[in-house]
Amino acid sequence: SQQGEEDPQALSIQEGENATMNCSYKTSINNLQWYRQNSGRGLVHLILIRSNEREKHSGRLRVTLDTSKKSSSLLITASRAADTASYFCATDAFLLNYGGSQGNLIFGKGTKLSVKP
């Protein structure tokens, strides 16, 4: 079953603008990850934020996590045409009876970002 829900489903911006994508999830998590996918093929890991972290940065990427609202956001600053891709959040669920990670990731449907030059 799908855990994450991203919004918006599609986002179109001009080069140089910032892009913000949001993700909501349903259960307790071990961590939340963001992935990027070009042309419907392999995914590339962008950033991981653990359940006890609130914000993380990597280059032009900034991720926030609010576990009380079960939501996360991905901000891409100073976007470039090469950032055009689909972006997915994925949650690594925390299994209470196991006391650890479920292992497999549960993905949302993604946000399709288009950055126009």
Partner 1 sequence: GAGVSQSPSNKVTEKGKDVELRCDPISGHTALYWYRQSLGQGLEFLIYFQGNSAPDKSGLPSDRFSAERTGGSVSTLTIQRTQQEDSAVYLCASSLFRGSNEQFFGPGTRLTVL
Q: Point out which residues bind partner 1 (CB under 8 A).
A: 2, 4, 30-31, 33, 35, 40-45, 48, 88, 90, 92, 100-110
Of 6 and 83, which CB lies nearer to partner 1 in the complex structure?
6
Residue 25 CB, shortest distance to partner 1, in Å, is: 12
Residue 62 CB, shortest distance to partner 1, in Å, is: 19
Question: What is the three-state SS of 50-108?
Answer: ECCCCEEEECCEEEEEECCCCEEEEEECCCCHHHCEEEEEEEEEEECCCCEEEEEEEEC
For 42, the enclosing helix (H) or strand (E) is none
Residue 1 CB, shortest distance to partner 1, in Å, is: 9
Of 4 and 63, which CB lies nearer to partner 1 in the complex structure?
4
Of 16 and 57, which CB lies nearer to partner 1 in the complex structure?
57
Q: Tokens for 51?
A: 């359940």
Residue 43 CB, shortest distance to partner 1, in Å, is: 4
Which residue, 18, 21, 20, 36, is CA-closest to 78? 18
